[in-house]
Structure 1
Amino acid sequence: MLFLWIAVLVLAIVIEATTSDMVAVWFMPAAIVSLVLSLIPGVPWWVQVLVFVAVGLILVVATRPLCRRLLRGKRTRTNADALIGQICIVTEEIRNIDGLGEVKIGGLCWSARAKEAERIIPVGERVEIVAIEGVKLIVK
Protein backbone atom coordinates (compact mmCIF):
# COMPACT_ATOMS: atom_id res chain seq x y z
CA MET A 1 0.00 0.00 0.00
CA LEU A 2 3.00 2.29 0.46
CA PHE A 3 3.44 2.71 -3.29
CA LEU A 4 -0.28 3.29 -3.78
CA TRP A 5 -0.25 6.26 -1.38
CA ILE A 6 2.91 7.65 -3.01
CA ALA A 7 1.15 7.39 -6.39
CA VAL A 8 -2.00 9.07 -5.01
CA LEU A 9 0.12 11.88 -3.55
CA VAL A 10 2.04 12.41 -6.81
CA LEU A 11 -1.20 12.31 -8.80
CA ALA A 12 -2.80 14.91 -6.51
CA ILE A 13 0.25 17.16 -6.91
CA VAL A 14 0.18 16.82 -10.71
CA ILE A 15 -3.57 17.51 -10.87
CA GLU A 16 -3.23 20.55 -8.63
CA ALA A 17 -0.29 21.88 -10.65
CA THR A 18 -2.11 21.56 -13.96
CA THR A 19 -5.50 23.00 -13.02
CA SER A 20 -6.43 26.58 -12.28
CA ASP A 21 -8.91 25.70 -9.54
CA MET A 22 -8.13 24.02 -6.25
CA VAL A 23 -9.38 20.48 -6.84
CA ALA A 24 -6.83 18.07 -5.36
CA VAL A 25 -5.02 20.03 -2.66
CA TRP A 26 -7.14 18.48 0.11
CA PHE A 27 -6.18 14.95 -0.85
CA MET A 28 -2.45 15.58 -0.46
CA PRO A 29 -2.57 15.63 3.36
CA ALA A 30 -4.98 12.68 3.30
CA ALA A 31 -2.53 10.71 1.16
CA ILE A 32 0.33 11.64 3.51
CA VAL A 33 -1.63 10.44 6.56
CA SER A 34 -2.48 7.18 4.80
CA LEU A 35 1.14 6.82 3.69
CA VAL A 36 2.28 7.12 7.31
CA LEU A 37 -0.36 4.55 8.35
CA SER A 38 0.95 2.14 5.71
CA LEU A 39 4.37 2.27 7.39
CA ILE A 40 2.90 1.04 10.68
CA PRO A 41 2.91 -2.77 10.78
CA GLY A 42 -0.49 -4.37 11.21
CA VAL A 43 -2.67 -1.49 9.95
CA PRO A 44 -5.06 -3.09 7.43
CA TRP A 45 -5.52 -1.60 3.96
CA TRP A 46 -9.20 -0.82 4.58
CA VAL A 47 -8.28 1.37 7.58
CA GLN A 48 -5.84 3.29 5.38
CA VAL A 49 -8.51 3.81 2.73
CA LEU A 50 -11.09 4.80 5.34
CA VAL A 51 -8.68 7.33 6.89
CA PHE A 52 -7.81 8.71 3.42
CA VAL A 53 -11.48 9.26 2.58
CA ALA A 54 -12.31 10.70 6.01
CA VAL A 55 -9.36 13.13 6.11
CA GLY A 56 -9.98 14.20 2.50
CA LEU A 57 -13.67 14.86 3.06
CA ILE A 58 -13.11 16.66 6.36
CA LEU A 59 -10.54 18.95 4.74
CA VAL A 60 -12.80 19.66 1.75
CA VAL A 61 -15.83 20.47 3.91
CA ALA A 62 -13.90 22.45 6.51
CA THR A 63 -11.54 24.51 4.37
CA ARG A 64 -12.78 24.79 0.77
CA PRO A 65 -15.31 27.59 1.38
CA LEU A 66 -12.71 29.56 3.33
CA CYS A 67 -10.04 29.08 0.66
CA ARG A 68 -12.40 30.10 -2.14
CA ARG A 69 -13.40 33.24 -0.26
CA LEU A 70 -9.78 34.19 0.45
CA LEU A 71 -8.53 33.50 -3.07
CA ARG A 72 -11.44 35.13 -4.90
CA GLY A 73 -10.24 38.63 -4.09
CA LYS A 74 -12.12 41.84 -4.58
CA ARG A 75 -14.07 42.61 -7.73
CA THR A 76 -12.30 45.27 -9.73
CA ARG A 77 -14.53 47.73 -11.48
CA THR A 78 -13.93 48.19 -15.20
CA ASN A 79 -13.55 51.63 -16.74
CA ALA A 80 -17.19 51.55 -17.79
CA ASP A 81 -18.38 50.44 -14.33
CA ALA A 82 -16.44 53.32 -12.81
CA LEU A 83 -18.62 55.79 -14.76
CA ILE A 84 -21.79 54.83 -12.89
CA GLY A 85 -22.58 57.46 -10.28
CA GLN A 86 -20.42 60.12 -11.97
CA ILE A 87 -21.78 63.53 -12.94
CA CYS A 88 -21.43 64.66 -16.56
CA ILE A 89 -22.52 67.56 -18.78
CA VAL A 90 -25.08 67.25 -21.58
CA THR A 91 -23.46 68.37 -24.86
CA GLU A 92 -26.35 67.46 -27.16
CA GLU A 93 -29.98 67.63 -26.07
CA ILE A 94 -31.16 64.22 -24.87
CA ARG A 95 -34.45 63.16 -26.50
CA ASN A 96 -35.10 59.44 -26.26
CA ILE A 97 -38.00 59.55 -28.71
CA ASP A 98 -35.64 60.80 -31.46
CA GLY A 99 -32.68 58.68 -30.32
CA LEU A 100 -30.59 61.79 -29.73
CA GLY A 101 -28.34 62.79 -26.89
CA GLU A 102 -24.73 63.12 -25.87
CA VAL A 103 -22.82 63.81 -22.68
CA LYS A 104 -19.21 64.58 -21.94
CA ILE A 105 -17.24 63.06 -19.08
CA GLY A 106 -13.50 62.86 -18.59
CA GLY A 107 -12.90 64.60 -21.91
CA LEU A 108 -14.84 61.93 -23.83
CA CYS A 109 -18.23 62.24 -25.49
CA TRP A 110 -20.72 59.40 -25.04
CA SER A 111 -24.13 58.74 -26.54
CA ALA A 112 -26.71 59.10 -23.81
CA ARG A 113 -30.35 58.40 -23.09
CA ALA A 114 -32.54 59.63 -20.26
CA LYS A 115 -33.65 57.10 -17.68
CA GLU A 116 -37.20 58.45 -17.97
CA ALA A 117 -38.30 57.84 -21.58
CA GLU A 118 -40.38 61.03 -21.95
CA ARG A 119 -37.87 63.42 -20.35
CA ILE A 120 -35.96 65.91 -22.51
CA ILE A 121 -32.66 67.11 -21.02
CA PRO A 122 -31.26 70.39 -22.39
CA VAL A 123 -27.63 71.13 -23.31
CA GLY A 124 -25.47 72.24 -20.38
CA GLU A 125 -27.43 70.39 -17.70
CA ARG A 126 -25.49 68.29 -15.21
CA VAL A 127 -26.73 64.70 -15.05
CA GLU A 128 -25.80 61.55 -13.16
CA ILE A 129 -24.88 58.32 -14.94
CA VAL A 130 -27.10 55.55 -13.54
CA ALA A 131 -26.40 52.68 -15.96
CA ILE A 132 -24.70 51.63 -19.16
CA GLU A 133 -26.59 49.83 -21.92
CA GLY A 134 -24.30 48.78 -24.74
CA VAL A 135 -22.41 51.94 -25.72
CA LYS A 136 -24.99 54.37 -24.33
CA LEU A 137 -24.97 55.97 -20.92
CA ILE A 138 -28.31 56.09 -19.12
CA VAL A 139 -28.59 59.35 -17.16
CA LYS A 140 -31.00 61.09 -14.82
Structure 2
Amino acid sequence: MEIIVWLALIIFFVVLEIATVGLTSIWLAGGSLAGLICAAFGMGITGQIIVFAAVSFVLLYFTRPWALKYLKPHLVKTNYEEAVGKNVCVTEQIDNVRGTGTAVMNGLEWTARSVDDEKTFEPGMIVMVKEIKGVTLYVTESSDMPQMNGDK
Protein backbone atom coordinates (compact mmCIF):
# COMPACT_ATOMS: atom_id res chain seq x y z
CA MET A 1 0.00 0.00 0.00
CA GLU A 2 2.82 2.42 0.87
CA ILE A 3 4.42 1.83 -2.52
CA ILE A 4 1.20 2.94 -4.24
CA VAL A 5 1.11 6.11 -2.14
CA TRP A 6 4.72 6.94 -3.04
CA LEU A 7 4.02 6.28 -6.73
CA ALA A 8 0.99 8.57 -6.56
CA LEU A 9 3.09 11.28 -4.90
CA ILE A 10 5.80 10.99 -7.57
CA ILE A 11 3.19 11.35 -10.32
CA PHE A 12 1.52 14.25 -8.51
CA PHE A 13 4.77 16.19 -8.02
CA VAL A 14 5.93 15.56 -11.61
CA VAL A 15 2.58 16.74 -13.02
CA LEU A 16 2.67 19.76 -10.70
CA GLU A 17 6.19 20.60 -11.94
CA ILE A 18 5.10 20.30 -15.55
CA ALA A 19 2.14 22.59 -14.86
CA THR A 20 4.10 25.27 -12.99
CA VAL A 21 7.69 24.94 -14.28
CA GLY A 22 8.89 26.48 -11.03
CA LEU A 23 11.72 24.03 -10.34
CA THR A 24 10.29 23.37 -6.88
CA SER A 25 8.04 20.34 -6.88
CA ILE A 26 10.43 18.21 -8.94
CA TRP A 27 12.66 17.96 -5.87
CA LEU A 28 9.71 16.61 -3.88
CA ALA A 29 9.26 13.99 -6.59
CA GLY A 30 12.89 12.99 -5.94
CA GLY A 31 12.14 12.72 -2.22
CA SER A 32 9.07 10.61 -3.04
CA LEU A 33 11.25 8.30 -5.13
CA ALA A 34 13.56 7.89 -2.13
CA GLY A 35 10.52 7.10 0.03
CA LEU A 36 9.37 4.56 -2.57
CA ILE A 37 12.76 2.83 -2.52
CA CYS A 38 12.69 2.70 1.29
CA ALA A 39 9.18 1.22 1.20
CA ALA A 40 10.33 -1.40 -1.32
CA PHE A 41 13.09 -2.46 1.07
CA GLY A 42 10.63 -2.76 3.96
CA MET A 43 11.52 0.34 5.99
CA GLY A 44 8.78 1.58 8.34
CA ILE A 45 6.55 4.51 7.46
CA THR A 46 8.32 6.83 9.92
CA GLY A 47 11.69 6.11 8.30
CA GLN A 48 10.19 6.59 4.84
CA ILE A 49 8.84 10.00 5.78
CA ILE A 50 12.16 11.03 7.32
CA VAL A 51 14.03 9.92 4.18
CA PHE A 52 11.48 11.72 1.99
CA ALA A 53 11.92 14.96 3.95
CA ALA A 54 15.72 14.72 4.07
CA VAL A 55 16.17 13.90 0.37
CA SER A 56 13.66 16.59 -0.66
CA PHE A 57 15.47 19.18 1.46
CA VAL A 58 18.92 18.21 0.17
CA LEU A 59 17.77 18.28 -3.45
CA LEU A 60 15.95 21.58 -3.01
CA TYR A 61 18.71 23.30 -1.04
CA PHE A 62 21.77 22.13 -2.95
CA THR A 63 20.65 21.55 -6.53
CA ARG A 64 17.91 24.15 -7.11
CA PRO A 65 20.32 27.14 -7.27
CA TRP A 66 22.45 25.29 -9.82
CA ALA A 67 19.38 24.28 -11.83
CA LEU A 68 18.01 27.83 -11.85
CA LYS A 69 21.36 29.16 -13.02
CA TYR A 70 21.94 26.70 -15.85
CA LEU A 71 18.53 25.37 -16.89
CA LYS A 72 16.28 28.42 -16.83
CA PRO A 73 16.52 30.87 -19.73
CA HIS A 74 18.66 33.90 -19.01
CA LEU A 75 16.41 36.91 -18.57
CA VAL A 76 17.58 40.27 -19.86
CA LYS A 77 17.28 42.93 -17.19
CA THR A 78 16.06 46.30 -18.40
CA ASN A 79 17.35 48.33 -15.44
CA TYR A 80 14.31 50.59 -15.68
CA GLU A 81 14.67 51.23 -11.94
CA GLU A 82 17.60 53.50 -12.78
CA ALA A 83 15.22 55.83 -14.65
CA VAL A 84 13.44 56.85 -11.44
CA GLY A 85 14.81 60.26 -10.46
CA LYS A 86 16.16 61.01 -13.95
CA ASN A 87 15.24 64.11 -15.89
CA VAL A 88 13.53 63.59 -19.25
CA CYS A 89 12.38 65.94 -22.01
CA VAL A 90 8.68 66.24 -22.84
CA THR A 91 8.02 65.76 -26.58
CA GLU A 92 4.19 65.89 -26.54
CA GLN A 93 2.08 67.80 -24.03
CA ILE A 94 1.49 65.69 -20.92
CA ASP A 95 -2.15 66.09 -19.98
CA ASN A 96 -3.77 63.33 -17.91
CA VAL A 97 -7.29 64.61 -18.60
CA ARG A 98 -6.77 64.34 -22.36
CA GLY A 99 -4.69 61.17 -22.02
CA THR A 100 -1.76 62.59 -23.96
CA GLY A 101 1.94 62.85 -23.36
CA THR A 102 5.30 61.50 -24.39
CA ALA A 103 8.84 62.08 -23.16
CA VAL A 104 12.27 61.02 -24.37
CA MET A 105 14.54 59.08 -22.05
CA ASN A 106 17.91 57.74 -23.20
CA GLY A 107 16.93 58.38 -26.82
CA LEU A 108 13.70 56.38 -26.56
CA GLU A 109 10.21 57.86 -26.59
CA TRP A 110 7.96 56.77 -23.72
CA THR A 111 4.31 57.36 -22.92
CA ALA A 112 4.28 59.86 -20.07
CA ARG A 113 1.70 60.94 -17.53
CA SER A 114 1.81 63.46 -14.71
CA VAL A 115 1.85 62.25 -11.11
CA ASP A 116 -0.60 65.09 -10.37
CA ASP A 117 -3.71 65.03 -12.60
CA GLU A 118 -3.98 68.84 -12.32
CA LYS A 119 -0.50 69.47 -13.79
CA THR A 120 0.27 69.62 -17.49
CA PHE A 121 3.71 69.83 -19.06
CA GLU A 122 4.47 71.38 -22.42
CA PRO A 123 6.85 70.05 -25.11
CA GLY A 124 10.46 71.01 -24.40
CA MET A 125 10.03 71.04 -20.62
CA ILE A 126 12.36 68.97 -18.48
CA VAL A 127 10.52 66.80 -15.97
CA MET A 128 11.65 64.20 -13.45
CA VAL A 129 10.58 60.55 -13.53
CA LYS A 130 8.85 59.72 -10.25
CA GLU A 131 7.87 56.12 -11.07
CA ILE A 132 7.33 53.69 -13.92
CA LYS A 133 4.24 51.53 -14.33
CA GLY A 134 4.36 49.17 -17.28
CA VAL A 135 5.64 51.26 -20.19
CA THR A 136 4.49 54.62 -18.84
CA LEU A 137 6.66 57.20 -17.11
CA TYR A 138 4.95 59.10 -14.30
CA VAL A 139 6.61 62.48 -14.03
CA THR A 140 6.67 65.56 -11.83
CA GLU A 141 8.30 68.98 -11.92
CA SER A 142 12.08 68.99 -12.02
CA SER A 143 14.44 71.49 -10.45
CA ASP A 144 16.09 71.67 -13.91
CA MET A 145 12.77 72.60 -15.57
CA PRO A 146 13.14 75.72 -17.73
CA GLN A 147 10.66 78.55 -17.15
CA MET A 148 8.03 78.60 -19.92
CA ASN A 149 6.35 81.88 -18.97
CA GLY A 150 8.73 84.16 -20.91
CA ASP A 151 10.77 85.32 -17.87
CA LYS A 152 14.46 85.75 -18.60
Cross-structure match for 2:88: 88
3-state SS of 2:29 partner: coil
- Deviation digits for residues 69-115 of structure 1 (CA, Å, limit 9, x no counterpart): 73566x95764x72642542111232223333221123332221111
Unaligned stretches of 5+ residues in structure 1: 39-44
Q: How does 1:66-85 map to 2 (within 5 A)?
A: 66=61, 70=65, 79=78, 82=80, 84-85=83-84
Q: Deviations over 1:23-50 (max 9, x none)?
A: 4011233334445xx3xxxxxx4x4444
8 Å CA contact retained: 2:30, 2:55 = no
- Asked if 1:131 corresponds to 2:136, the answer is no
Contact 1:16/1:25 (<8 A) preserved: no
Contact 1:131–1:138 (CA under 8 A) maintained in structure 2: yes
Q: TM-score, normalised by structure 1?
A: 0.56
Once the two structures are superposed, the pairs formed by residues 7-22 of structure 1 within 5 Å of their partners are 12=10, 16=14, 19=18, 20=21, 21-22=25-26
Distance (Å, rounded) in 2 between the aligned partners of 1:63 and 1:82: 36
| Candidates 51, 55, 59, aligned match of 1:55 | 51
Identity within the alignment, %: 21
Q: Aligned with 1:97: secondary structure?
A: coil
Q: Conserved in 1, the CA contact under 8 Å of 2:91 and 2:123?
A: yes
Q: 1:116 aligned to 2:111?
A: no
Length, aligned pairs only: 122
1:68: Cα distance to partner? 9.1
Q: In structure 2, do the counterparts of structure 1 residues 69 and 115 end up closer, same or farther at CA, with 3 Å as the change threshold?
A: farther
Query: Which amino acid counterpart does residue 61 of structure 2 have in structure 1?
Result: L
C-alpha spacing 1:29/1:106, structure 2 compared with 1 (3 Å): same
Native 8 Å contact 2:103 2:110 kept in 1: yes
Query: 1:101 corresponds to which letter in structure 2?
Result: G
Structure whose CA Rg is larger: 1
Per the normalisation by structure 2, the TM-score is 0.53
**Structure 2: segments with no counterpart, 5+ residues:** 141-152
Give the whole-Å Cα distance in 2 for the aligned partners of 1:117 and 1:65.
49
Deviation at 1:54, TM superposition (A): 2.6
Equivalent-residue separation in structure 2 for 1:102 and 1:131 (angstroms): 13
